[in-house]
Structures are given as C-alpha cells and as structure tokens.
Structure 1
Amino acid sequence: MSGKRGKNDAADAAAICEAVARPAMRFVPVKTIEQQSELFLHRARQGYVEQRTALINRVRGLLAELGIVLAQKADTVRRELAHLLEDLPGSCNIVVADAITDLERLDARIAEYDRHIAGCAKANADARRLMQLSGIGPTTASALVATVGDGHDFASGRQFAAWLGMVPGQYSSGGKQRLGRITKAGDRYLRTLLSLGARSVLQSGRKKEDAISRWTRDVEGRRGYWKAVVAMAAKNARLAWAVLRRGDDFRLYGQEAAAGA
C-alpha cells in the first residue's frame, strides 16, 4: 500500500493506466485549437462581466453608507448614478465619476466580445443549427460548440444534461426512488447560459400558443417558475446534444419538444 502514496510521475502514469482500463470512466472532452480559441473569447467576456458586477455592487455599497439605496438591477444603477453625481458630498463625487467611467469601459469591452462571439456562431454550421432552438442565442450556441464539439463524448442527451448538473440528485436505496435538487455539477458557465435562455423562453411564451410555450406554462403551473426554468434548460441541453451529435436541423422544434426529446 505504501507504493500508492505520494505524487510522482510513476504514480501518475499508473493512475492513468488504471483509469483507462475502467470501461465506465468518464474523461474530459478533448478540444481542438479552434475550440480553445473560441473559449478564450468566452472566458475573457465572462471575466469582464464579473468585473462589471463587482463594480456595480461596490458602488451600491458605498452609496448605501450615505443612505442612498439603489436597486440591484444594473440598468437602474447606471441611470441613477448620472443623476446623483452632482449632489454627492466631497470626494464621493470623484469616486462615483470614476466608477461611471470604468462601467462605460467595461460595457464597451463586453459589447466588443459579444460581437466576436456572434461572428464565431454565425460562421459555424452547428452553432447556426443550435440557434434555431428557442432560448439559445449566439453566445450559448458558440459556448456549446466550443465546449463539447459534436457531442460524441456523451451517449445521450440526458447524459449531457447530467454532465451539466441539470438533473436531480438521486438518494435511492432499497428499491425506493428519492430525487433531490439538481446536482449543479459540471460546467457552470454553460448551465448559466442555458438557464438564462430558459427564462427568456418562459417570459416570451406567456402569450404564445406553440407546443413549447404551452409545455412551459403547464410545468410552471404545476411546479412553479424556477422548476420550469430548470426543466426548460435541461430540455434545451438534450436538444442541443441531438443537434450536435446527429446534425439534425430541428426546424420542427415544437414537435421535437412536445415529443419530450
């Protein structure tokens, strides 16, 4: 047993050989240079988004010390800051003015990366097919293609959804099925993008009568809003895998969704 302890090249090689010999072992999908380059855009954009969120929260915190409480919505903060600027005392004016400048710079940089990502999605046939699905725009389509390629590392759409952490955790034993919340394992970025897309589907589908809109309203009525969001996001993950794996066009999206793809 002592030979299994510690970390060195020989132990690493032995562990790799043992892992490869196991038929059920899951491996990280191998990415091409093109996929890695596209993911660079996503990682950089997400970094700027996080910086912008941190900046907005920092300014809200500073203004709260003066008794000025701003809503969490970013658009509201941008609008209110310009009105508050001249009325702030002392050096507060300088700090908030600099924050507005930084916020405008981050907005411009994020918009620039959005254009780069949209261009990548437009140039890729798989991404164009993915964008035919409700709730999947250029950013999500590009991220899916750059992360999973043609989806050959997954045996089914449900397996892909499980890899994203969008299926319930199981706590089953003795023949009793117990399902908990979604696991939230896997790629958080993709899961977030799919969830945001699902929210837009629910919002836009309230006045529509297509199959997917009726389905989301039914789920929301029975299970509540957030569970309907997760269900829609998981459905889109399964459909996205089918598009990538089989190259299907999925123009009849409503029929595919209604069939429980």
Structure 2
Amino acid sequence: MSELALIGIDLGKHTFHLHGQDKSGREVFCKKCSRAQMMQFFASSQSCVVAMEACAGSHCVARQLAAIGHTAKLISPQFVKPFVKGNKNDFVDAEAICEAASRPSMRFVTPKTESQQTLSVLHRMRESLVRDRTRTANQMHGFLLEFGVSLPRGLTIMKRLAVVLAEHELPVRLTVLLQRLHNHFIYLDEQIKAMDKELACQVADDDLGSRLLSIPCVGPITASLLAVEMGDGKQYRCSRDFAASVGLVPKQYSTGGKANLLGISKRGDKHLRQLLVQCSRVYMQRLDHQKGALADWVRSLLSRRHSNVVACALANKLARIAWAIAAHHTQYEAGPGA
C-alpha cells in the first residue's frame, strides 16, 4: 500500500465514508465504517492530514483526531462543492473533500474547543428562548385583540397582565388559558435572565471577554460571542478578514476591470452580525456622549450617509477593533477627541 498523506471524511450521524490518497493524489483506499470503527482505524494508522467539512459534529471529531496525532482540517462546505465529480454520493463527497484540502490556497476553519462549543450552545439556547418569549407575547396580544382588548406594544405590559384582565369582562375559560400562557412567558423570562447572569459571569472571568467589554456599547452577550467565534484571532490574516467572515464587507460583482460593490455580503454568523449592528445603533443613539477618534469618524459619516449605512460601517469597525484586541492582546482606548 502507498503511504497515506491525506484522508477525506464524509461525516454522518452513524456511518462515515473515508477516502485516502497518497502524496501524488492517487486513491489508496475507499471505505465505509461506523464511528467506533473509524476511530479504531485512525488510532492504528500513521499520522496524516485528515480533512472534513465544517459542520455540527466536525469539531468533536477534529479534537479526537488531534489527540491521537493526526492533523485535522475543516473546510467550509461551499468550498467543497465545486470539486464534486458527476452524481453526488457519500464516497464522491469524501473524494471531493480530499481534492479541496489539497489546494494550496484553500481556507480552513479552526476547530473549536469544548469551552467554545459549550458557550456557543448557551448562546443558541438563549436566542431560542428570546424568540419563544416574543412569540408568546405576540400570541397573548392577538388573543386579547380578538376580544376587543388592545394592549400597548412591548413586553412591559406582560408583567401587569393580571390587572389588565381584571379591568375587562372576559370569559372565565379564556382568562384561565391566558393565565397559563402568562405563566409560560414568566418562565421564559426567568430562564433568559438566568442565562444573561451566567454569560456576564463567564465574560468577567475570561481574559479576552473582559478586554472586549472595553469596546464602547459592547455588552457581555456580544463580547462572549465574539470570544467564541474569534478565539485568539490568529486564524485571520488581518482585521478585515474577520469582518469579512462575519459578512460586514461589501459583496463584490466585478468583471471586465469594472469594480461593482453591492450591499454587505451577510456571510458567517447571522447572530453575531446582528449583535454588532445593534451595538452600532446604540453607539449612534449615545453619540453626543461619545468622545475620541471613533466618535468623530461616526459624526463625519452621518453628515453624508444614511444612518443604516453608518450602522453597518460602524459594525465593521467594531469587528475590526475586536480582532485587534484579541490578536494584539490589548484593550480599547478611545483616544483624544477632535
């Protein structure tokens, strides 16, 4: 058998398809195995580069392979698709992963640590609870509107719903059902507050997270998510690369030497991009109280651009500041004002 140099894995829940190549790119083996069989195979094989698509289960596999001496590389699925030959199947996908990983200019995803994945789970759970809380409040508003009761917008009215129900003559059965829905709203609200406290404690104990909090209008939720997605920042060549990975740079459609820049690309983590834009809007609302070069730059931009454009530009700036803090182990300094 030729010496193994690269193995591509098409990941699955229960079965995994492996494609091995030597240094010249020739196929060495092609096999299907279970998770236990795959780990047993890698434990007994020589150290080599193992490539796979970046997905939900890839980070755990990458950590396990790195622990036994292999070099694990994760590739974004969009970069693998062009290398798929003919009809799609699992073995063809594994071969395409090998072809993509062998390209010298290929970009790889840095595997996450267990703590980063755990914090990411906490963020996704909180985001889901916030959506459920909003859905519950909207449902409550809709039910009451069907019986002629119009409530003010927002979540504040939910705290005194009992007073509102007492002021209107409603069917007893409806009141019971609305009270049950209100109890569910209170439960969701308590869970979200508990998660916010947990995130604040974790950010305070984390060196990078505490330094990211020095960025104006960046709170514990945004700082912790930045720390999860960015890590030490070394996987990005510069701050613009990190901003591009979040989708805060213009989408380009250029041809024939004519540059054509569109709106932001909206690539990467949607939740992180949303939080950075929200931080930008808060900064713009408090612009009269802000000082330094960043505040002067925002004021100058607002004088000639729409506020939505400025919000995205400022979100890009905040992302680049966050990368600089992580990569150079510093913290934000506003600097002298104009």
TM-score (norm 2): 0.69
**Match of 2:93, as an amino acid?**
D
Compared CA separation, residues 209 and 243, structure 1 to 2 (3 A): closer
Q: CA RMSD in A?
A: 2.4
Q: 1:173 aligns with which of 255, 264, 281?
A: 255
Compared CA separation, residues 15 and 123, structure 1 to 2 (3 A): same
Worse-matched range after superposition: 210-219 or 55-64: 210-219
Name 2:294's counterpart in structure 1: 212
Deviations 1:179-225 (CA, angstroms, capped at 9, x unpaired):
22212121011111111211211112234343322322332232122
Worse-matched range after superposition: 31-40 or 79-88: 79-88
Give 1 or 2: higher helix fraction: 1
Which structure has the higher relative contact order (CA within 8 Å, separation 6+)? Answer: 1
Compared CA separation, residues 154 and 208, structure 1 to 2 (3 A): closer
Q: 2:233 aligns with which of 145, 151, 160?
A: 151
Contact 1:206 1:217 in 2 (8 A): no
Residues matched between the structures, number? 254
Q: 2:165 aligns with which of 72, 75, 85?
A: 85
**Match of 1:81, as an amino acid?**
L
Contact 1:167 1:183 in 2 (8 A): yes
Contact 2:211 2:331 in 1 (8 A): yes
Q: Does 1:42 align with 2:128?
A: no
Contact 1:38 1:120 in 2 (8 A): no
* Percent identical: 35
Deviations 1:159-190 (CA, angstroms, capped at 9, x unpaired):
11111111121222223222222121210111
Contact 1:29 1:148 in 2 (8 A): no
Q: Which runs of 5+ in 2 are unaligned?
A: 1-83
Deviations 1:30-82 (CA, angstroms, capped at 9, x unpaired):
1001111111211111111111011112122222323434444223x425634
Name 2:199's counterpart in structure 1: 117
Deviations 1:226-253 (CA, angstroms, capped at 9, x unpaired):
2221111111001111111221233x23
Name 2:176's counterpart in structure 1: 94
Compared CA separation, residues 30 and 64, structure 1 to 2 (3 A): same
After superposition, residues 121-132 of structure 1 pair within 5 angstroms as: 121-132=203-214
CA distance in 2, matches of 1:170, 1:197: 26
Shift of 1:123: 1.0
Name 1:54's counterpart in structure 2: 135
Q: Which runs of 4+ in 1 moved over 4 A?
A: none
Q: Which runs of 5+ in 1 are unaligned?
A: none
**Match of 2:205, as an amino acid?**
A
**Match of 1:176, as an amino acid?**
K
Q: Does 1:135 align with 2:208?
A: no
Compared CA separation, residues 208 and 6, structure 1 to 2 (3 A): closer
Compared CA separation, residues 177 and 46, structure 1 to 2 (3 A): same
